[in-house]
A = this chain, B = another copy of it.
Amino acid sequence: MSNNKNASEIQAVDTTERITKLRTLFKKEKYNLTAYVIPSEDAHQSEYTAACDARRAFISGFTGSAGLAVVSTDDAALFTDGRYFLQANKQLDHNWTLMKQGIPDVPTWQEYLVQNLPKDSRIGIDPTLITACDAKTLKESLGKVGSSLVSTEENLVDLVWGNARPPRPCNPANVLPSKYTGRSHDDKIANLREELSKENYYGFVVSALDEIAWLFNLRGSDVKYNPVFFAYALITKDDIILYIDENKLSNEVKAHLGSSVKFRSYNAVFEDLRHLSVKFKSDNQKLLISTRTSYALTLAAGEDNTESARSPILDAKAIKNEVELEGMRQCHLRDAAAVINYFAWLEQQLSAGNVLNEIDGANRLEKFRGEQEDFVGLSFDTISASGPNGAIIHYSPEPKTCAAIDPNLLYLCDSGGQYKNGTTDVTRTIHFGKPTEQEKRAFTRVLQGHIAIDRAIFPKGTTGYLLDVLARTSLWKDGLDFRHGTGHGVGCYLNVHEGPHGIGTRIVFNDVPLQAGMTVTNEPGYYEDGKFGVRIESVVLVKEVDTPHNFGNRGYLGFERITFVPIQTKLVDVSLLDPIEHKWINGYNAECFQKVSPFLKPDSLGFRWLERETAALK
């Protein structure tokens, strides 16, 4: 899936009282604000947040994964992108103006603060919720119109939320054994220290939750769908300090970490950095921070004492070792069995005339996943979308509002699981009746893009920014396109969205060449508003490939697919295919049968469905 989050009530919440209370806080003498910015992220710049950190959703009523709210003395604006226009329109009440990002002449939130608010405004923000880089750029832009960025000590939305705000989760952290990680945390830390010493950094402050989990070979459950836990870490030449609520740590975890790891309370990182800031100055040494580190951490360490770069842990984590790669392969086979069992079950239910809604479907799919070895939980909210709901790119069905699954419309199902040996993410679009010619043509164009990415071979150094076009050329021939990236990295029993690489039109993806051992999704789509959505998503691994020649001695890379849920041939418009594509489809479906059938009971519903669905396309 290309981005989603918490369950979303697709209906407006009345936000009048919340906004009024927030505006009252603007007037506090020490702040005297014109506006307050409420990002989606938490203090770790997480994409998925715990309920206590869902401040933007609380204040605006909009629950999509991406977006930012600005409440000013006389306006409230919610900024989100094309994936969420429909959802935001439904969820925002009369207090809010939806700012459609990406549409010409609609300002970004930064432009809005500069252009739409009065000059000399005082713009409040919680400095833990914005990166140091973004804060710096913003301060400069605001400065040009005499406005200023005001870091608030408390989060003002939290004050409005009051006792109704859920507590911060404090679930235990658990050891992930080396049979899953393939590499000790000592080894990872030793590598990190090598990187730091090359540039003579004092140390690196780790703030991204998945980086902490990866580095220490621990997993948690503080954030829904992401097996992470709240913590910071500071790695220096001499020290390894984990800032964490010690209640989360069992003796087993402490034994695993060993005596070299020191523990301090979660928020003590700010205090420690403030103390160290004096040392940094006198020693003329810098602290490395990642570009995703919060402004608040930078303020604590001293802005001049830090140097910002892409996190070395992010880069190291992206390249999976052999144990992780094998774990990813294995969990994808079991995951495919669950999805296949679900589709088979759903088809039977619908053909028996049973009425099932989208949530019923999602729940049953979760149940099938739950039967699989090493399953821990979902990796994101299942998108189970019938007909027009499929066009809401990050639709999340809700019990009260979701639609019945209509056997005469396209059904888009984007789902994934967390397994101890890996994380999955798969989308298939299927039809239980007779698809229209338009649906088939759109499906086939999407499939051709999917195949073009899958078959790509490219020299080392090539980025996902450059490959993205391959997912679109077939769609473009029909004047079709999609407004999301083609692929994102996938963690190994970690976050389903992972950097630093990706396949897409965002220019940051041009900074990171794809490298052997990386995971990435291949998920082109097409969305016809009010009618249907098509997306075909598999996870692929980047691997070295042998080519007849090796021009430039760079070495060449390609993809190994690890998702094995068949492509529905009923939806393919054969007249559009070239023979290689035709062969690809049959080859892929045959591979699905060969690889996944051993995980299905012979003659079970799922087995028979798989057998039928993988019959060769004529």
In-complex Cβ contact of A470 among B473, B548, B552, B578 (8 A): B473
- Residue contact A459 to B476, C-beta cutoff 8 Å: yes
**Which residue of B is nearest A475, CB measured?**
B551
Say whether A243 faces chain B, with CB atoms less than 8 Å apart: no
**A478 contacts which chain B residues (CB < 8 A)?**
547-549
Interface residue ranges of A490-537 to B (CB < 8 Å): 526
**Which residue of B is nearest A465, CB measured?**
B466
Say whether A116 faces chain B, with CB atoms less than 8 Å apart: no
Say whether A255 faces chain B, with CB atoms less than 8 Å apart: no
- Residue contact B456 to A473, C-beta cutoff 8 Å: yes
Could you write out 28 A-B pairs with CB less than 8 Å apart?
Answer: A456-B476, A457-B479, A458-B473, A458-B476, A459-B481, A466-B466, A466-B469, A467-B469, A469-B470, A470-B470, A476-B547, A476-B556, A477-B547, A478-B547, A478-B549, A479-B547, A479-B548, A479-B550, A479-B551, A479-B556, A480-B549, A481-B551, A481-B552, A483-B552, A526-B551, A578-B578, A578-B579, A579-B579
- Residue contact A457 to B476, C-beta cutoff 8 Å: yes
In-complex Cβ contact of A549 among B458, B479, B552 (8 A): B479
Task: Give chain A's interface residues, CB within 8 Å of chain B.
Answer: 456-459, 466-470, 473, 475-481, 483, 526, 547-552, 556, 578-580
Report the minimal beta-carbon distance from A506 to chain B, rounded to whole angstroms: 13
Report the minimal beta-carbon distance from A525 to chain B, rounded to whole angstroms: 12
- Residue contact A480 to B579, C-beta cutoff 8 Å: no
**A580 contacts which chain B residues (CB < 8 A)?**
578
Contacts A457-B479, A466-B469, A475-B551 known; list 4 others, CB within 8 Å.
A458-B473, A459-B476, A480-B551, A483-B552
Report the minimal beta-carbon distance from A501 to chain B, rounded to whole angstroms: 16
Report the minimal beta-carbon distance from A482 to chain B, rounded to whole angstroms: 8
Report the minimal beta-carbon distance from A544 to chain B, rounded to whole angstroms: 11
**A483 contacts which chain B residues (CB < 8 A)?**
552
In-complex Cβ contact of A457 among B457, B477, B556 (8 A): B477
**Which residue of B is nearest A481, CB measured?**
B551
**A481 contacts which chain B residues (CB < 8 A)?**
459, 551-552
**Which residue of B is nearest A469, CB measured?**
B466
**Which residue of B is nearest A103, CB measured?**
B552
Report the minimal beta-carbon distance from A566 to chain B, rounded to whole angstroms: 24
Give the docked Cα–Cα distance between A478 and B551 (Å): 9
Give the docked Cα–Cα distance between A526 and B552 (Å): 12
**A579 contacts which chain B residues (CB < 8 A)?**
578-579
Report the minimal beta-carbon distance from A276 to chain B, rounded to whole angstroms: 29
**Which residue of B is nearest A452, CB measured?**
B473
**A475 contacts which chain B residues (CB < 8 A)?**
551
Give the docked Cα–Cα distance between A456 and B474 (Å): 9
**A470 contacts which chain B residues (CB < 8 A)?**
469-470, 473
Give the docked Cα–Cα distance between A457 and B480 (Å): 11
**A457 contacts which chain B residues (CB < 8 A)?**
473, 476-477, 479
Closest 3 CB pairs of A and B: A479-B547, A479-B549, A578-B578
Give the docked Cα–Cα distance between A580 and B580 (Å): 11
**A476 contacts which chain B residues (CB < 8 A)?**
456-459, 547, 556
**Which residue of B is nearest A468, CB measured?**
B466
**A526 contacts which chain B residues (CB < 8 A)?**
551
**A550 contacts which chain B residues (CB < 8 A)?**
479
**A551 contacts which chain B residues (CB < 8 A)?**
475, 479-481, 526
**Which residue of B is nearest A82, CB measured?**
B552
Give the docked Cα–Cα distance between A608 and B362 (Å): 69
**A456 contacts which chain B residues (CB < 8 A)?**
473, 476
**Which residue of B is nearest A483, CB measured?**
B552
Give the docked Cα–Cα distance between A469 and B551 (Å): 16
**A466 contacts which chain B residues (CB < 8 A)?**
466, 468-469
Residue picked from A467, A481, A483, A526, most chain B C-beta under 10 Å: A481
Give the docked Cα–Cα distance between A578 and B583 (Å): 12
Report the minimal beta-carbon distance from A548 to chain B, rounded to whole angstroms: 5
**A458 contacts which chain B residues (CB < 8 A)?**
473, 476
**A480 contacts which chain B residues (CB < 8 A)?**
549, 551
Give the docked Cα–Cα distance between A147 and B479 (Å): 55
Residue picked from A457, A476, A478, most chain B C-beta under 10 Å: A476
Give the docked Cα–Cα distance between A556 and B580 (Å): 26
Give the docked Cα–Cα distance between A473 and B579 (Å): 18
**A468 contacts which chain B residues (CB < 8 A)?**
466
Give the docked Cα–Cα distance between A475 and B579 (Å): 19
Residue picked from A479, A480, A550, most chain B C-beta under 10 Å: A479
Give the docked Cα–Cα distance between A476 and B550 (Å): 9
Give the docked Cα–Cα distance between A526 and B548 (Å): 14
Give the docked Cα–Cα distance between A481 and B547 (Å): 12
Give the docked Cα–Cα distance between A580 and B473 (Å): 15
**A548 contacts which chain B residues (CB < 8 A)?**
478-479
Give the docked Cα–Cα distance between A549 and B550 (Å): 40
Give the docked Cα–Cα distance between A329 and B458 (Å): 35
Give the docked Cα–Cα distance between A12 and B86 (Å): 69
Give the docked Cα–Cα distance between A548 and B444 (Å): 15
Give the docked Cα–Cα distance between A475 and B477 (Å): 22
**A477 contacts which chain B residues (CB < 8 A)?**
457, 547
Give the docked Cα–Cα distance between A547 and B556 (Å): 35
**A556 contacts which chain B residues (CB < 8 A)?**
476, 479
